[in-house]
């Protein structure tokens, strides 16, 4: 019985061995795959010169020993062109070995890339035409084998703030660890389409026409032939690719007519160094206890990007992001920066600005740097169509101001003979940033991060700023260095109600500053003009000459108080600051605006008790929740509230409840805040009262003919006859109610959602 089984086992073994032998044969090296990369490179036509360079650099054995790579090999004509354009070298033997090493390393990238793979990558991996979130080849850069050495900087520390200086100024020497090799861009039709750039944009930087259908490795075009090796690919290219410099290297390059040293030194005001103990301890001898130099990481966290860093993508700095993300910089020459300093930043321009550049705050200098940076590469087409800079300003640059252009390894680079004027300096925020007298207010703007809203283009703002002298007098605002972050400030106020210093949060300061910024400019025509502000409230501009100030006054919905949470009333006179601004007018005032905190329910209950009782009778009051049942919290209302005498003269007890409810709702206009300054149009405004023509399918609301004019609102009946005239009056008109929209109990954020006018009649049958 055992013999047949044994025969079967032997037969199976023979079959398996035969099958395995055939499988091994199938994976034997094909005839065309003759060797690894360097061996194959020697067989590629017309790249002899590059092969010699590879051997001189010692990469012949590396490429044939281990790892996988892709080589972009310049042909012999590319070398001849290189020597013709480089008088210092007439042959390969003239090139120093370190330059040979650079030349070789910049033409080799990691991993094997087929021609199709070169055009099919993004940060989420290979693109997929069926995936709308990953179907375009934005990943256009590849990491080369070229890596710069760690770099030493001289660092000076004053008041816990570090800056990079030259060695002459002394300080501490710090070596910064370089974590990444350099990157080189690839350009091809699919990337140009995804990035929305053209062949002209490529030609502008690389000084050669872009031929559609081709692939370009930096400034070099790939020939059509592909060459394979056991451990990678070889492409022949028609030019030598010079190692791309990062922005720091481009700014400090002395081999040019123009200097950008002053701009670079401004960047060097904002470094942040951190010890990198991991890389420090990896150095030779560290594990044996030998003393080694401490290595540091360097970033410029308050600037848009790190000028020295090859890796890009500020939120996650890694090699994956870097294949897609690239920055832009438009650096003013020394003369251009000095022109900006003289004519805009300092008092040399004729305005009472900062006395000189040394005394100009770092906030101002940081804005100048970020205004010349871009989150994305800036191409020729972007210069005139516009792009967003590092201060979130949309700007355009006259190509005639460009004196130099380079495609850097981490950003596109332009040299300018005319600096970009930041919108922070040309808008209503200009006096705040450029005049020493508003330094504390400027620090509060920075702290609360509201600048982008204040400097908005096409706006017509009225900004009411407070000078340092007034803030010091009333102790309402202090901005001192933050002990935990010397580049930031800590904002405090003296709370006059609690008689102690209190810390102010970013949200609090944002609301307080937004309450000082009107979204229109006062005309001075009405006695009282109501200007909406960025916080959702209204600034009141009173054009009447005040007996105490001798001029017009300005306030919030309440009278201003001395100091933070003070109780003594002050009257603020707005003084126009003589400064050119392109989005409104900046005023100087002596204090902060105060605003109501009563909601509509409490305002009517407190000031119109008979009207409130009438609503109670109608079943509209939920006293427990402090609201009216027929109003909606998110809506805005204009209320024409009958006075006590008007209600007392009418016996509403005779009305059925539904009729009483509709009568009350006739006094509420929904969706508009109508003041006595005549800014709203005369028209039929919809009330909350439901018209008798309504059906179960369509609700129709009654309307009220309201005709606002200067210092007057008149209500008319359907025949056009006047029902009542409402003349502007401090105590009876324009009473504002607010709503606290803050989700946090720690911060109050009141917005004006209703305005109430007293009327001496009920709107019956109108």
Domain covering 265-341+359-419 assigned CATH 3.10.20 in the classification: no
Distance, CA of 430 to CA of 578 (rounded, Å): 11
- The CATH number that domain 37-126+141-146+185-243 falls under is 2.30.180.10
Of 686, 738, 676, 687, nearest to 712 by C-alpha is 676
DSSP calls for 104-133: HHHTEEES---HHHHTSEETTEE--TT-TT
DSSP letter (8 states) at residue 148: P
What is the number of other CB atoms lying within 10 angstroms of the CB of residue 638?
Answer: 24
Instruction: Please tell me the number of Cα atoms within 13 Å of 589 on its side-chain side.
Output: 28
Distance CA 670, CA 701 (A): 10
The pTM assigned to this predicted structure is 0.90
> 600-759 belongs to which homologous superfamily?
FAS1 domain (2.30.180.10)
> DSSP string spanning 182-247?
-EEEEE-HHHHHHHT--HHHHHHHHSSPPPTT--EETTEEEEEEEEEETTEEEEEESSPPPPPP-H
Residue 669 CB: number of other CB atoms within 10 A? Answer: 23
Spatial distance between the Cα atoms of 563 and 472, rounded to a whole number of angstroms: 10
Strands 327-332 vs 411-416: parallel, antiparallel or unpaired? parallel
pLDDT score recorded for residue 652: 85
Q: Are 666 and 704 in contact (CB under 8 A)?
A: yes
Predicted confidence at residue 26, as pLDDT, reads: 37
Distance of CA 600 to the CA centre of its chain: 37
Residues of CATH 2.30.180.10 domain(s) within the chain?
37-126+141-146+185-243, 427-589, 600-759
DSSP 169: G
Task: Collect all residues with Cβ–Cβ distance below 8 Å to 254 and sequence separation of at least 6.
Answer: none
Rounded to whole angstroms, the Cα distance separating 13 from 511 reads 84
Fold of 427-589: FAS1 domain (2.30.180)
Sign of the alpha-carbon torsion through 483, 486, 488, 491: positive
Task: Give the chain's largest Cα–Cα span.
Answer: 127
Mean pLDDT by 10 residues, the chain (766 residues): 37 38 41 78 96 96 93 97 94 95 97 96 91 93 96 93 90 94 97 96 97 98 96 97 96 88 97 95 92 95 96 77 96 98 97 97 97 96 93 94 96 97 98 97 97 96 98 96 87 96 96 98 97 98 93 96 96 96 97 96 97 96 93 94 94 90 96 97 96 88 96 95 96 97 88 97 85
């Amino acid at each position: 019985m055992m013999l047949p089984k044994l025969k079967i086992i032997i037969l199976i073994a023979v079959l398996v061995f035969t099958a395995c032998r055939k499988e091994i044969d199938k994976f034997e090296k094909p005839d065309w795959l003759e060797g690894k990369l360097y061996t194959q490179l020697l067989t590629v036509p017309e790249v002899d010169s590059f092969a010699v360079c590879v051997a001189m650099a010692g990469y012949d054995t590396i490429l044939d020993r281990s790892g996988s790579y892709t080589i972009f090999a310049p042909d012999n004509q590319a070398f001849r062109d290189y020597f013709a354009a480089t008088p210092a070298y007439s042959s390969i033997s003239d090139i120093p070995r370190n330059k040979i090493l650079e030349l070789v390393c910049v033409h080799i990238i990691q991993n094997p890339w087929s021609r199709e793979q070169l055009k099919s990558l993004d940060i989420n991996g290979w693109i997929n035409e069926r995936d709308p979130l990953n179907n375009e080849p934005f990943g256009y850069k590849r990491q080369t084998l070229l890596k710069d050495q760690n770099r030493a900087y001289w660092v000076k520390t004053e008041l816990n703030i570090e800056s990079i200086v030259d060695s002459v100024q002394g300080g501490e020497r710090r070596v910064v660890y370089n974590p990444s090799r350099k990157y080189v861009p690839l350009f091809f039709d699919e990337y140009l389409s995804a990035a929305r750039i053209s062949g002209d944009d490529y030609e502008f930087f690389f000084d050669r026409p872009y031929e559609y259908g081709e692939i370009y490795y930096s400034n070099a075009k790939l020939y059509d032939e592909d060459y394979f090796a056991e451990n990678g690919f070889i492409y022949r290219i028609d030019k030598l690719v010079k190692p791309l410099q990062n922005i720091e290297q481009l700014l400090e390059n002395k081999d040019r007519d123009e200097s950008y040293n002053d701009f670079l030194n401004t960047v060097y005001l904002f470094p942040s160094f951190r010890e990198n103990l991991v890389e420090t301890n990896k150095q030779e001898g560290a594990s044996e206890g030998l003393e080694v130099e401490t290595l540091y990481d360097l970033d410029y966290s308050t600037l848009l990007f790190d000028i020295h860093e090859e890796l890009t993508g500020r939120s996650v700095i890694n090699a994956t992001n870097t294949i897609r993300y690239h920055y832009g910089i438009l650096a003013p020459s020394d003369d251009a920066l000095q022109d900006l300093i003289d004519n805009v930043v300092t008092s040399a321009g004729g305005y009472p600005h900062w006395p000189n550049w040394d005394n100009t705050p770092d906030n101002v200098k940081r804005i100048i740097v970020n205004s010349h940076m871009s989150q994305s590469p800036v191409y020729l087409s972007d210069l005139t169509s516009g792009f967003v800079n590092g201060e979130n300003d949309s700007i355009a640059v006259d190509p005639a101001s460009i004196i130099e252009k380079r495609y850097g390894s981490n950003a596109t680079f332009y040299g300018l003979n005319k600096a970009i004027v930041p919108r922070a300096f040309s808008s209503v925020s200009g006096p705040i940033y450029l005049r020493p007298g508003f330094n504390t207010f400027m620090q509060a703007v920075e702290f609360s991060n509201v600048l982008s809203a204040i400097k908005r283009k096409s706006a017509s703002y009225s900004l009411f700023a407070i000078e340092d002298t007034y803030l010091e007098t009333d102790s309402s605002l202090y901005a001192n260095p933050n002990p935990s972050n010397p580049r930031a400030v800590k904002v405090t106020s003296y709370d006059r109600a609690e008689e102690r210093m209190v810390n102010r949060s970013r949200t609090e300061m944002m609301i307080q500053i937004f309450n000082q910024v009107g979204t229109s400019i006062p005309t001075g025509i009405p006695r009282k003009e109501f200007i909406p502000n960025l916080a959702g409230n209204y600034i009141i501009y009173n054009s009447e000459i005040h007996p105490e100030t001798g001029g017009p006054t300005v306030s919030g919905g309440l009278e201003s108080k001395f100091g933070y949470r003070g109780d003594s009333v002050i009257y603020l006179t707005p003084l126009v600051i003589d400064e050119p601004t392109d989005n409104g007018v900046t005023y100087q005032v002596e204090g902060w605006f105060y605003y109501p905190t009563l909601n509509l329910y409490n305002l009517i209950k407190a000031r119109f008790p008979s009207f409130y009782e009438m609503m109670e009778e109608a079943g509209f009051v939920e006293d427990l929740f402090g609201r009216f049942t027929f109003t909606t919290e998110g809506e805005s209302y204009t209320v024409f509230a009958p006075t006590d005498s008007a209600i007392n003269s009418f016996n509403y007890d005779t009305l059925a409840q539904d009729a009483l409810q509709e009568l009350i709702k006739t006094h509420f206009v929904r969706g508009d805040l109508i003041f006595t300054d005549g800014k709203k149009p005369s028209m039929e405004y919809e009330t909350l009262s439901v018209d008798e023509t309504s059906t179960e399918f369509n609700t129709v609301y009654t309307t009220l003919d309201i005709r606002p004019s200067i210092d007057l609102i008149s209500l008319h009946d359907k025949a056009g006859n006047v029902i009542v005239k409402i003349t502007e009056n401090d105590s009876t008109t324009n009473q504002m109610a607010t709503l606290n929209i803050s989700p946090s109990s720690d911060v109050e954020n009141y917005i004006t959602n209703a305005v109430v006018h007293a009327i001496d009649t009920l709107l019956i049958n109108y």
